[in-house]
Amino acid sequence: MRACGEGLVRPGAKRARALLVGAASFLVLPLAGAMAADDRQSLNDYPTEARAEYVFACMATNGQSSDILRKCSCSIDIIASILPYEKYVQAETVLSMQLVGGERMSVFRTAASANKLVADLRRAQAEADIRCF
C-alpha cells in the first residue's frame, strides 16, 4: 500500500525508476529461469480472484481496517504456501456442500477423503492465524 503523498514524484523520477527496474529484472531473470516450472507454479498457483475473495471475506469477518487488510492478505499467502490451490478449492467445495441439508449431501459430512481435505484446510488456516493475527 502507498503512504499518502508517495505517488507524488519529481519529473524524470518515473523514467529513472523504470530504467532501474529494467536493469534489476535483467539481472534477476536468469535466476528466475533457474527455478523449475513446477516450483514457480507452486509458489503462486492461487488466482488473484481467489485471493481477493478470501481477503474480502476475512475483512467482512474481522473488520474493515488497513491493519486487518494486511493480516488477511498475510493469511491467504500462508494458506497458499501450505495448500495447493486445487486442494483449497476441493476443501472449500466440501465445506459448502456440508452446509446443505439432506441425505444426498451426507457423503460430504462422512467420507474420510472429504474430512481430510477439510482438516488440511483447517490446519493451514490455523497456521495462518498464528503467523498473521
pLDDT of residue 64: 96
Cα distances (angstroms) measured from residue 63 to each of 4, 53, 68, 69 = 22, 15, 6, 9
Q: Average of pLDDT values for 44-71?
A: 97
Q: Are residues 64 and 121 in the same domain?
A: yes
Q: Is the pLDDT of residue 123 over 70?
A: yes
Q: Are residues 60 and 107 in the same domain?
A: yes
Q: Are residues 24 and 67 in the same domain?
A: no
Residue 52 C-alpha from the chain's centroid:
8
pLDDT band (50, 70, 90) for residue 77: very high
Cβ 78 vs Cβ 126: under 8 Å: no
Cα separation, 44 vs 19, in Å, equals: 26
Counting residues of the chain whose pLDDT is more than 90, the rounded percentage is: 56
Q: Are residues 71 and 122 in the same domain?
A: yes
Total domains, the chain: 2
Q: Are residues 72 and 120 in the same domain?
A: yes
Question: Could you tell me the residue range of the domain that residue 23 belongs to?
Answer: 13-43
Q: Are residues 35 and 70 in the same domain?
A: no
pLDDT of residue 101: 84
* 3 inside domain: no
Q: Is the pLDDT of residue 132 over 60?
A: yes
Q: Are residues 103 and 82 in the same domain?
A: yes
Cβ 62 vs Cβ 71: under 8 Å: yes
Task: Decide: pTM greater than 0.75.
Answer: no
Q: Are residues 86 and 67 in the same domain?
A: yes
Cα separation, 73 vs 17, in Å, equals: 27
- What phi, psi does 39 have (nearest 5°)? -65, -45
Q: Are residues 32 and 83 in the same domain?
A: no
Give, rounded to a whole angstrom, the gap between the first and last alpha carbons of the chain.
19
pLDDT of residue 28: 37
